Amino acid sequence: MTWSAVVKKSIKNEPKNEHKNEPRNESKTGKEEALNEENNSKKVVANNTRRRSKSPRGYSDNHSTFDNSNYGYKNGIYGNNNIPIESIGSIILRIMHQINKEEIYSKRGNIQPHGLINSGNNCFISSIIQILLYCKPFYNIIRLIGDKSIFYLGGSNGKGSDSKTPIINSIINLFEEFKDKFGEAISAESFYRSIYKHPRFNHLVKGEQEDAEEFMTFLLEIIHEESIESVKGLQKEEINKLVDSIRVDKKRFESDAGVKFNRKKIEDDNNDSNEDDNEDEDGWNTVSKKKMRNGNRNKVEENKRNYEPSIISQIFEGEFCSVIDLNDNKKSIKIDPFQHIQLDISDERVESIEDGFKLLSEREDINYRIKEVNKDNRQEEEVEISTKKQTLINKLPQVLVVQLKRFSYSNSKVGGIEKSCKSITFDSELKIPEECLSKNGQLRKDGSQYRLSGVVYHHGNSANGGHYTADVLRSESKWIRIDDTYISKVKNEEVINRFSHKDNLRSAYILMYEKVL
């Protein structure tokens, strides 16, 4: 029995008498220490020594996202005034089905700026950690898991060697270090060790420079997978407690759990799609029923391999919609999830990030193989046709990660990978061009306006080395620049001015945008 089936059974068997949720009162944990505006030094060289935090673990109660009234905890389940403790899987389910999403996406955590000690070409890791740290939804969710889970008690989902979430655990520990007083560099050796010994990172060689975007992709995929596994590992008793305490109506929770975690079953049951749907061997789901346009059926392919939701997919996942023109005015429509968008900047027409999006959605000529019935022998056969293809955005994520494609294989006799140092303009605000969006009504309802929260730069003219740094938005309009252990304040104009990067071959490589709510 799948965990979603257990959830449904638990809901079905729940007693009729409803219990009121009683929020727990919490005391203040202290005020956030702000960046010292009177600091005369433009650049701070952080000390390599570390001091342990003396402040209590957890957020200030000013952040109502983390107040227990938003969890619906019941007295008697976790104890009276004790901090309620749950497994990581249970906390993740709460985040996905119950927590106030707007506050997670908009509240800024109590983060004190720290550099990370570069013990040997680890800048590709530290630059990614810095922009994720200052990504509000990611930071809030990671800290929420750490504050409310049994991780710190060494439970079955915690620190032990059998932990289902070793990377999530390591990030929780690392983020804990950023509550100390500003200026002290952090040694992230424990986090680095967890990375290097993970099977998905067995290609990494300690001391060698790697690609920052590739590292971020693997890191988010691992957290995505750990999130799913922690939920699947929930015991029946934990599910019952979760159902008992969650503050949503039964029908909605059952629907959410079913649609999100058993997508095909719900589609078959609720949409009556069995007679027209089929699943290809490669994992693609072809849905044709009710996809009618002008009397013609369009073939819709949906990649359902990545549809299991997680804390990562809720933050970073969007959807592409690829439309291919077929014969008889029919179209082949393929829906693909994405966690970041790569923009080609090699075209001379691309001078800004908006230009890159427009190029992405241009109609292009392609050769496409389709099955047709031969008029002579009445046999179905595969034929190749020349047609048009267009890639549109069907769903925008809460956090949009954009990679500017600066590295490509060289056409020279020597070969290898070369870097493009081309200057691309971007602003602190991004409006996705209208021509890049599909006709999905929900897409326009959710909005397409973003605000820049972080930039990762690659320094140097070679793809085989160089250095990575990051600019991050610390408050509404205050940016800081982080170069290993060096931290400095920068103006917004310095971040978005493409001509300020040429002297040291500093090229914007990864841009992180948060949706404007």
| Residues facing 286 on adjacent strands | 278, 301
Question: Domain end: 245, 263, 281, which one?
Answer: 245
Q: Residue 371 is inside which H or E element, if any?
A: strand 364-373
Would 122 be classed as within a structural domain? yes
pLDDT at 246: 62
Under-50 pLDDT residues of the chain? 1-83, 152-160, 247-296, 304-306
Q: What is the CA radius of gyration of the chain?
A: 25
Task: Please tell me the predicted confidence (pLDDT) of residue 431.
Answer: 95
Residues 207 and 347 placed together within one structural domain of the fold:
no
Q: Which pLDDT score, from 0 to 100, does residue 40 have?
A: 39
**What are the distances in angstroms from CA 99 to CA 3, 12, 112, 179, 267?**
20, 23, 25, 23, 26
Of 230, 245, 260, the last residue of a domain is 245
Alpha carbon 215 to its chain centroid, in Å, reads 13
For residue 412, give its domain range. Answer: 317-515
Q: Which residue has the tokens 């729940």?
A: 14
In this structure, the dihedral spanned by the alpha carbons of residues 57, 63, 69 and 70, taken in order and rounded to 10 degrees, is -100
One domain, residues 234 and 358: no
Q: First-to-last CA distance in the chain?
A: 39
Query: Same domain for 102 and 218?
Result: yes
Count: domains in the chain = 2
* pLDDT score, position 166: 92
Q: Is residue 216 part of a domain?
A: yes
**Which pLDDT value is given to residue 293?**
37
- Domain presence at residue 260: no
* Predicted local confidence at residue 146, as pLDDT: 87
> Which residues are CB-neighbours of 298 under 8 A, at least 6 positions away?
288, 291, 292, 330, 331, 332, 333
Residues 352 and 472 in one domain: yes
The verdict on residue 256 lying in a domain is no
Q: Hey, what are 27's tokens?
A: 């005391």
Claim to verify: residue 180 and residue 323 sit in the same structural domain:
no
Full-prediction pTM beyond 0.85?
no
Could you give the C-alpha distances from 14 to 7, 17, 78, 244, 266, in angstroms and in order?
Answer: 11, 9, 19, 8, 22
**CATH number of the structural domain spanning residue 336:** 3.90.70.10
pLDDT at 78 (0 to 100): 28
- Considering the domain architecture, whether residues 108 and 204 belong to the same structural domain is answered as yes
pLDDT (0 to 100) of residue 329:
74
Single residue among 245, 272, 304 that ends a domain in this structure: 245
Residue 482 confidence (pLDDT) = 96
Residues 240 and 335 in one domain: no
